[in-house]
Structure 1
Amino acid sequence: MSIPRESSDYLVRIISRSGTVRALACVTTGLVADACHRHGTFPTASAALGRALTGGALFGALLKTGQRIALAFEGNGPLRKILVEADANGAVRGCVGNPEVVLVRDDGKLDVGRALGHAGLLTVTKDLGLKEPYRGTVTLYTSEIAEDLAYYLTESEQIPSAVGLGVFVEADGSVGVAGGFLVQALPPHDEAVIEQLMSRIETMPAVSEQLRGGATPEKMLEYLFAGIPYDTLEKRALAFVCSCSRERLERVLLSLGKDELAAMIADRGEAEVTCELCGERYHFSREELQRLHDEPQPSAG
């Protein structure tokens, strides 16, 4: 999956010169707006999906080339679930179970935690190119997305981490800004540096507030690492990119079996298959369904 050249979203990755802390920060406004437009999300669903997509972009940047990661948030709230997939190249895609969710807290802010639900699970699946993918699951911590991702990294992967995510939804429902950061302590842990970073994180303005004020990923990292020498490792483009294709959807139809395809031809004479993660629709005519039906089945031996 390649990133469009015109993408304005990007991520910056740094490491402290002592080698004890690494951090990433990104702006994801364009890809979040793209995703929300594709799925027709209402404001609270937009905020939830945007945070999860941004988290996916940050997690994907920790992978090696060719590796992929999937995040599945499943809760007992009206949103039901959030699914996100990302790779090491900066491609991100995702969806929500119910896009038509608007919940607002007493302070006027969008209530992502209640929308997802405070009872549920976060499952992280990594395709590292091995025979079996790695899978880790934790209970939802606050359902605010950022804290859940930090909790997963600290509990499941034993890497003390802090995650900040922000999405600002305008009064007309459009996505104004989106972005986030991820900070991780690496062994041997430098407690003085960790305390300094935690103090900066606690006092820094909200991510969405910084982005609305014109902050860049570089500026967010400069603020966090004030007084801590660091080196920039890379800057990479990010975009909403899906791996679906007509050929992949044909394989999905083939997996239904000849009997199901025959019933589909007899009943409707055509089919429309929608990719859950990007909303792209693929139409298959009677002739195309018949061709799939008539394809020889692979031998069992």
Structure 2
Amino acid sequence: MSDQIVRVLAKDAPIKASAISARDLVERSRQIHKTLPVATAALGRALMGCSMMGNQLKEEHGTVTLQIKGGGPLGSITVTSDSEGNVRGYVQNGEVELMEKVPGKLDVGQAVGVDGTLTVIKDIGLKEPYVGSIGLLSGEIADDITAYFAESEQIPSACALGVLVDTDQSVLCAGGYLIQLLPGADDEVISKIERGVHAVGPVTTALKEGISALELVRRVLSDFELEVLEESPVEYRCYCSRERVSRALISMGREELTALLEEQGSAELTCQFCDAVYHYSREDLEKLLSEI
């Protein structure tokens, strides 16, 4: 089953929700960045959360960037999604040794840390992007995304994200959901959602059965009648290119580019998101200089 994201509305209550199944996406990020299990789980959760947030954008060329700096051994996590939910990202220290709460349960919260912030940057084509930031609640990422929506956007939400890593360190399953209350939701609606969240339990337990993103959100919101707004594929997608890297070099300006040419004679730049390497010879750099 290919990775998928789904958006739904409840017909009988003021609720909107998204869900994602993203085993291939998270496995692709693991292969690119060669992460060990706790980093795979942390980066995977961030990728999926950002993907659902990006998929909510109405602007075709909008983007959402999630930055998590918790002070833990993983360092910072940065992920970016387009408006379709295609996402890319990296973790600063992907080779952190195994950290577990109990045997078989990765301690993502301790690896991320709580001494820092979660920052959301939404670029929807306006003069300045929207930036919202909160102090980290638990470092578990889903809890922090829930807190972000409550504090920065005043949207009561329930977010769950899970990545199950196999014994060979590959990703066995990954997915999650984001449920949000619209104006007019009463205590009965909240109680029904809470019962559904409790009944489903950890998302990886449900995903191990091979269920789809739609089935996941239907299980959580089983007390409501749902209307499916969209089902679409998502993937790990980087937009880097030699043209973009060249523009970045040109943007350094004549003085810095000349210094680079004189000191090194060539350049090798690596994309942080996909680890693609771009080589620039002396002739390449001289050509860029001539274009400034």
Query: Do they superpose with TM above 0.5?
Result: yes
| 8 Å CA contact retained: 2:53, 2:85 | no
Q: Secondary structure at the match of 1:232?
A: strand
Q: Unpaired segments of 5 or more residues in structure 2?
A: none
Give the counterpart of 1:211 among 207, 210, 220.
207
Q: TM-score, normalised by structure 2?
A: 0.95
| Equivalence for 1:75 | 70
| Equivalence for 1:286 | 282
Write the distance in 1 (CA, Å) between the matches of 2:226 and 2:207: 22
| Equivalence for 1:244 | 240
Per-residue deviation, 1:66 = 2.1
Aligned AA for 2:183?
P
Give the counterpart of 2:110 among 87, 109, 114.
114
Aligned AA for 2:225?
P
Write the distance in 1 (CA, Å) between the matches of 2:11 and 2:171: 36
Write the distance in 1 (CA, Å) between the matches of 2:250 and 2:184: 52
| 8 Å CA contact retained: 1:102, 1:110 | no
Give the counterpart of 1:198 among 194, 206, 223.
194
**Alignment of structure 1 residues 119-268 onto 2, 5 Å:** 119-268=115-264
Q: Secondary structure at the match of 2:235?
A: strand
Q: Secondary structure at the match of 2:73?
A: coil
Give the counterpart of 2:81 among 74, 81, 86.
86
Write the distance in 2 (CA, Å) between the matches of 1:244 and 1:87: 13
Asked if 1:27 is matched to 2:21, the reply is yes
Give the counterpart of 1:101 among 96, 102, 112.
96
Per-residue deviation, 1:19 = 4.9
Give the counterpart of 1:50 among 44, 47, 54.
44
| 8 Å CA contact retained: 1:60, 1:90 | yes
Instruction: Give the length in aligned residue pairs.
Output: 290
| Equivalence for 1:4 | none
Per-residue deviation, 1:106 = 4.2
| 8 Å CA contact retained: 1:264, 1:270 | yes
Q: Secondary structure at the match of 2:125?
A: coil
Cα-to-partner distance string for 1:105-134 (whole Å, 9 max, x where unaligned): 241211111111121100001012211111
Per-residue deviation, 1:288 = 0.5
Asked if 1:277 is matched to 2:273, the reply is yes
Cα-to-partner distance string for 1:199-245 (whole Å, 9 max, x where unaligned): 11023131112111212112112211223111111101101111211
Per-residue deviation, 1:153 = 0.5
Q: Which runs of 4+ in 1 moved over 4 A?
A: none
Write the distance in 1 (CA, Å) between the matches of 2:288 and 2:69: 35
RMSD: 1.4
Q: TM-score, normalised by structure 1?
A: 0.93
Per-residue deviation, 1:267 = 3.1
Per-residue deviation, 1:68 = 1.0
Aligned AA for 1:253?
L
Aligned AA for 2:221?
F
| 8 Å CA contact retained: 1:103, 1:114 | no
Write the distance in 1 (CA, Å) between the matches of 2:290 and 2:125: 34
Aligned AA for 1:294?
S
